[in-house]
Structure 1
């Protein structure tokens, strides 16, 4: 666990996190931009592909990055030129962005379709002087390629080329835009050996589309095994969900199609598997693999957790009845998947900007009069810096520091001034604000009264713990925790996946307009291998979530609270000073809990360093799932603009702990041992 920059989980190829075991390692990585997270540092597979493409196609003083589609590459070009428009007029260097589109060959027969699929990527070349703008787009928008895409392209394009010693456009399917074939450099990169062959793998690419379908179902319903209803008159893709998204009514699943998926998957992964489990008559859509192994002590997890009743002062019974009505969610129509959570945020905000431009075009008046102004986005709460930068790069905005009651009052001041706003973006709960959480019921009322949209990022809360969908128009989330880090201890495959999702609220005020734009603009850029692994990761999300919730509360009660004198403060949504009251308003009644993120602040920076260095667990910027991860939260973030422009103060002693699936007793002993080493 102490080795620097080892992959997490260990000995994996497509990991999302790298170990930084000591405080000084984090400081050094921050200064050198080597934090390891895929949006902050190129994965070795992507770096290798980039180097080959640079050697083969780049002109002098050019650098390149690989993006998942030609459409994304054109957005990169627009971004670079727009944000460098002033510099272009004041420099003698002419800014030129070149795009090379590459495509792997199509499968020739059914046998090849099992392991082969067309993969199109776009390579953007730019003078190295402007490379930082292209890298900024990569980091902020999350429209990136995964390590599995890079691995596949490396094999399909460059190993074939190595064997033929020629470049055949028909075989490679290569297409160019702005890049002339005569500028290529044949022979360069051909000595690179590919480290792993794809042939003989058990992964079946033909399962990808159904894998995505199952992922969307699980996001929509927040369950894994769904009981069929006897009614057959409902659209097979429509789910009647209670607004707390826990009670499922009148569900009719087209289980025959999914059974084909299950049977084919189990045949390819476990030929000796007894198929009797799939032929029973209990009308249940089976989980595609057995439940993950249960550690001792977890068998008594309750089927559901009771939720605290809402205080009458916060929401009356009538208000609750109005809010907890039913809605139809079509998982094929209303849920979208992305290669990262930031890509989902990017599309959400791009959608609202488009709708605002349409509003302006409708209201255009003669040129001798003042044109309608663009509406601003409100960033409510100190969200992660990347989200703040993304929104600020693409639109004028208001920043409100507080994500709690004070933030709501500040928002009212803006609205009461007569200014119309485009949208409010919030994280629920807000980790940077130590779990401070706005009253979503009150925010929803304001949005209905003043006509603005709400975007909620619920990555920190998780699909199963809270339900923010009824309070927003668009909900986005990273899928890098519960839907990632599948337990690889009994499986040789590497399952770590970065992904994101976006859900459009069917009862949102601009649902039709939002869907019209997204359907035209959305590209499915989630690579087939990533989707298949993501589906595998998603099968036991209820069980994983319950275990994490229970372990976290156990650690709070047995370790952290009894030793609270050793900390300056402890933050967790289960504590009153961490926004428990407003969290409980949207906490799911069944299976919902307070999550696995604990924040600790210390009396001195030295104590924080000692604790971090002494805990014998993995340490990384990621959220993890199976493995508990520690991270010096504010130290690993670029908070300079928050501090200089808005006077935000961040306690650099704060450590974020993301609880995993380990045995609670082992975790308790680990943390207690670390506390003893620096206790006075």
Structure 2
């Protein structure tokens, strides 16, 4: 097993890695507390929480050219997204912070010699600048919505910016005050693990000729573009790659083959693992990350159905609940995936309350419990609300939830990609759903395809063997569960096969499917959990669904400021979440047995 140093990217030596190493329990606490011995060594971080170095560098150069002293910039791909960010911040920030906001919209300068391939990309960047006081609110929008630029887009566009090939779009820059007031803001959004770690990566200064407005070295830019396209991006294959990804998500036949420029026959969609014969490729929408898919599904439903509260059913991934609470009229939260919670929800419906949609995960994270989708579907049909199911953990290779849902969302960043080096998300509109026509109308006017072409190409390549990886991961996860369940140190193992909601999982499980690659374990004593985590010889950091086993004290990372709240729903502070990879089964079992031995020895010491 590889050894990862503190703060090292996971995978190592990967410029756009999605995870990073927190090898000890103490380092996870240090990260949450913003301690420099951890933060200062981070090469990267999980996107949406840590703003990638390439994005930081580009943002710093935009501020240097267009901003005021002390301001910071958040980068978005389009003007429409930036406008939503402005509205969000202005509704929540103090007046002085709201007054500091400005936007800078950069587009390709077509008056200068540019390759045809670059013209077809039409790269755009819209920066929202604000004072230190506005920063926490800007960060909230960035984190919750997932609508910020990807690190590959930022890297690519930054090179164009430095060579003078991006110009300011007329009429999009607004003045900012000269002296914004600094303010740390809420603790959760003041970590120096994003834009405020610029000391570790100073932005390269523009050369004098560029700074003075002289023309760029066009030949140098051409070489950059040629190398970039030659290595990563054949522009002619971007649309076929998107088509291949959408068909894989739909479970269509032969969707794992390499894309070609010729469009595949439409009849291939008639047979798919979703069991919906009228599902079309254009019912699958791609997004730059999974949280963006959830955010825009919520937007689509608000537009289709009006301003109603939503329901978050089951203990959620943190930002899903934040989206429902902060964007729109709010949400009702049921924190346990139980029949009693469904009973309580049904009583509200019977009393006349009406809701926009019920959002749930299948299974949930991190307790791996599954809601009763059959009963939820019946309630939705009777009381007129939409059902949105996040299938990221279950994966459509193991379960089929589309017949129960109006929208199925997923984070492609996870097991669909597996390589932990690119972000992506998807949403499927069920063509048989009650709101399908209204959702499609919304999509025709409001959906923006902001998935950066380089990210598309990486996702397409990574996902070709998605289906073939699942069986190995399922088998490894079950083997690890057996090891943990047999240990006297272990209080609980959470896994769909063993949970009390197993029948709900089985109702959606495909004939050839398994129980997934994610599980969680709780030890009888916290010190045993710490010893186990420190000793386990796997990659250790945030994210899940990687082709290698990845271990995380998930509750510390996701709910550090609200541990008591999480515990009230049965989510223990010392829970350890394990995302199982493709290692040889015997070897990964040995790794877990060795870590259990270390935990037992630590437990014996504490009793002496």
TM-score range for the pair, normalised by the shorter chain length = 0.7 to 0.9
**Does the 8 A contact of 1:378 with 1:397 survive in 2?**
yes
The Cα shift of 1:579 comes to 2.1
**Residue among 505, 513, 517 paired with 1:583:** 505
2: distance between equivalents of 1:391 and 1:646?
21
Write out the 4+ residue segments of structure 1 that deviate beyond 6 Å after TM superposition. 107-111, 180-184, 192-196
Map 1:64-75 onto structure 2 (within 5 A). 64-75=73-84
Map 1:117-136 onto structure 2 (within 5 A). 117-136=121-140
2:552 corresponds to 1:628: no
**Corresponding residue for 1:426?**
360
**Corresponding residue for 1:570?**
493
Map 1:104-503 onto structure 2 (within 5 A). 104-105=108-109, 112-113=116-117, 117-158=121-162, 160-161=163-164, 171-179=165-173, 189-191=205-207, 197-200=224-227, 201-203=230-232, 204-221=234-251, 224=254, 236=266, 239-241=269-271, 245=274, 326-331=276-281, 333-357=282-306, 374-394=307-327, 395-432=329-366, 434-486=367-419, 496-503=421-428
Map 1:654-665 onto structure 2 (within 5 A). 654-665=575-586
2:443 corresponds to 1:518: yes
1: distance between equivalents of 2:137 and 2:50?
15
**More helix, by proportion:** 2
**Corresponding residue for 2:22?**
20
Gaps of 5+ in 1: 162-170, 228-233, 247-325, 358-373, 487-494
1: distance between equivalents of 2:253 and 2:348?
40
2:591 corresponds to 1:670: yes
1: distance between equivalents of 2:544 and 2:204?
39
**Does the 8 A contact of 2:99 with 2:177 survive in 1?**
no
**Does the 8 A contact of 1:385 with 1:639 survive in 2?**
no
**Does the 8 A contact of 2:100 with 2:134 survive in 1?**
no
**Does the 8 A contact of 1:620 with 1:629 survive in 2?**
yes
The Cα shift of 1:238 comes to 6.8
2: distance between equivalents of 1:216 and 1:658?
25
Q: 1:549 to 1:107 in 2, by over 3 A?
A: farther
The Cα shift of 1:674 comes to 1.2
**Does the 8 A contact of 2:68 with 2:176 survive in 1?**
no
2: distance between equivalents of 1:189 and 1:52?
8
Map 1:576-655 onto structure 2 (within 5 A). 577-590=499-512, 592-638=513-559, 640=561, 643=564, 647-655=568-576
Cα deviation, 1:386-437, whole Å, max 9, x if unaligned, reads: 11111100222211122121221121111111111111111111123x1221
2: distance between equivalents of 1:237 and 1:64?
47
1: distance between equivalents of 2:248 and 2:62?
38
Cα deviation, 1:492-533, whole Å, max 9, x if unaligned, reads: xxx811010000000001110111012211100000000011
Gaps of 5+ in 2: 179-202, 211-219, 258-263
1: distance between equivalents of 2:98 and 2:409?
39
2: distance between equivalents of 1:619 and 1:409?
39
1: distance between equivalents of 2:391 and 2:242?
20
**Does the 8 A contact of 1:115 with 1:199 survive in 2?**
no
Q: 1:144 to 1:235 in 2, by over 3 A?
A: same
2:478 corresponds to 1:553: yes
**Does the 8 A contact of 1:574 with 1:580 survive in 2?**
yes
Cα deviation, 1:48-78, whole Å, max 9, x if unaligned, reads: 1111112221113322111111110000011
Cα deviation, 1:546-599, whole Å, max 9, x if unaligned, reads: 111122122233x22332x12111111111x35221100001123x11001111
Query: Aligned pair count?
Result: 547
**Does the 8 A contact of 2:283 with 2:428 survive in 1?**
yes
**Does the 8 A contact of 1:238 with 1:329 survive in 2?**
no
**Does the 8 A contact of 1:17 with 1:37 survive in 2?**
yes
Q: 1:334 to 1:659 in 2, by over 3 A?
A: same
**Does the 8 A contact of 1:107 with 1:117 survive in 2?**
no
The Cα shift of 1:18 comes to 0.7
The Cα shift of 1:41 comes to 0.7
The SS at the match of 1:14 is coil
The SS at the match of 1:636 is helix
**Does the 8 A contact of 1:99 with 1:178 survive in 2?**
yes
**Does the 8 A contact of 1:104 with 1:157 survive in 2?**
no
2:57 corresponds to 1:57: no
**Residue among 38, 44, 49 paired with 2:47:** 38
Cα deviation, 1:171-204, whole Å, max 9, x if unaligned, reads: 43431444279999xx983059999945333332
The Cα shift of 1:114 comes to 7.9
Cα deviation, 1:268-307, whole Å, max 9, x if unaligned, reads: xxxxxxxxxxxxxxxxxxxxxxxxxxxxxxxxxxxxxxxx
**Corresponding residue for 1:301?**
none
> Which range moves more in the overlay, 212-221 or 646-655?
646-655
1: distance between equivalents of 2:549 and 2:331?
36
Q: 1:198 to 1:485 in 2, by over 3 A?
A: farther
1: distance between equivalents of 2:256 and 2:73?
46
The SS at the match of 1:464 is coil
The Cα shift of 1:131 comes to 1.3
The SS at the match of 1:634 is helix
TM-score (norm 1): 0.75
2: distance between equivalents of 1:426 and 1:53?
39
2:132 corresponds to 1:102: no
2: distance between equivalents of 1:420 and 1:560?
43
**Does the 8 A contact of 2:57 with 2:204 survive in 1?**
no
The SS at the match of 2:558 is coil
Q: 1:106 to 1:181 in 2, by over 3 A?
A: farther
Q: 1:515 to 1:586 in 2, by over 3 A?
A: same
2: distance between equivalents of 1:202 and 1:640?
43
Structure number with greater Rg is 1
How well do the aligned residues superpose, as a CA RMSD in angstroms?
Answer: 3.0
Cα deviation, 1:596-625, whole Å, max 9, x if unaligned, reads: 111110111111111000011111111142
